[in-house]
Amino acid sequence: MVNTFSNSTAYGKRAKLGLIVPPTNTVNEAEWHIMLPPDISLHVTRMPLHTDVLSKKGKEGLYRDIEKSTTDLGMAGLTSIAYGCTAGSMADPINELTDFMSKISGIPCVSTAGSIIAALNHLNVKKISVATPYHEDLNNHEMLFLENNGFDVLGISGLGIGSGGAHEYIQIAQTPIDKIKSHIFSVNCDAAEALLISCTDFPSLNLIPELEQKIGKPIISSNQATLWWAIRSAGIDDFFIGYGKLFET
């Protein structure tokens, strides 16, 4: 019998990615596993959800939890670490949180918010429409962040999940795919140069190629952008075919 474990590392021979997600998130990890090739492994931990990242108290809580999670993942000999939460990483200055994570771990670190900005800049688009599962307060928070980072948000629409409290967020991953598709189509407008699907727990990866073909413009999702930026930050320049123009450009 061939010993497939004779090498110094059985899995993740080319890269080992770390991922931090909120407790209820079941989509980010699943969609990354779909996209990743066999020689890049994924290692995931969870930490409390933080939606208040602007107040002093809110930022202190975020940094306290991110320090623990980054420290834990940093012990695994990883190539890079991503904080996979969209609204929970949308705070300026954009690189402050990831610089903090990199200082702790000694490796490149990215956040979903920073990855979205990097992806939009990579595709050279400024005018966007945004589809989210969120309620109005989180949508306003996201729109302000995007506009502060130089983008013209022509429209943003959510499904209202979370308006009754944080206990509703588990419903995001349970949203029917047909409803998500219709929601994305509904935010499109002629002037938008790209569409953003926001939230790492909002399942949309398999919709991206079809939507790009029908709408005729790039579709960026939180999970797609975060993986793209995580592997680019790790020095991997592969084109992943079938997951949108971002990975093919």
Predicted local distance difference test score (pLDDT) of residue 229:
98
Same fold, 15-114+224-241 and 115-222: yes
Give the CATH number of domain 115-222.
3.40.50.1860
Q: In 3D, which of 18, 166, 168 has the Cα closest to residue 80?
A: 18
The contacts found for 160-165 with CB under 8 angstroms, 24 or more apart, are 160/134, 160/135, 160/136, 161/133, 161/134, 161/135, 162/133, 162/134, 162/135, 162/138, 163/135, 163/136
Q: What is the pTM of this model?
A: 0.94
Q: What does the domain layout of the chain look like in residue ranges?
A: 15-114+224-241, 115-222
Kindly indicate whether the domain formed by 15-114+224-241 is annotated with CATH number 1.10.110.30: no
Sign of the dihedral through C-alpha 190, 194, 196, 197: positive
Predicted local distance difference test score (pLDDT) of residue 140:
96
What integer is the mean pLDDT of 30-46? 97
Predicted local distance difference test score (pLDDT) of residue 27:
99
Q: Is the pLDDT of residue 136 over 80?
A: yes
CA distances from 180 to 34, 174, 175 (A): 19, 10, 7
Residues 56-75 pLDDT 10s: 999 999 999 999 999 999 99
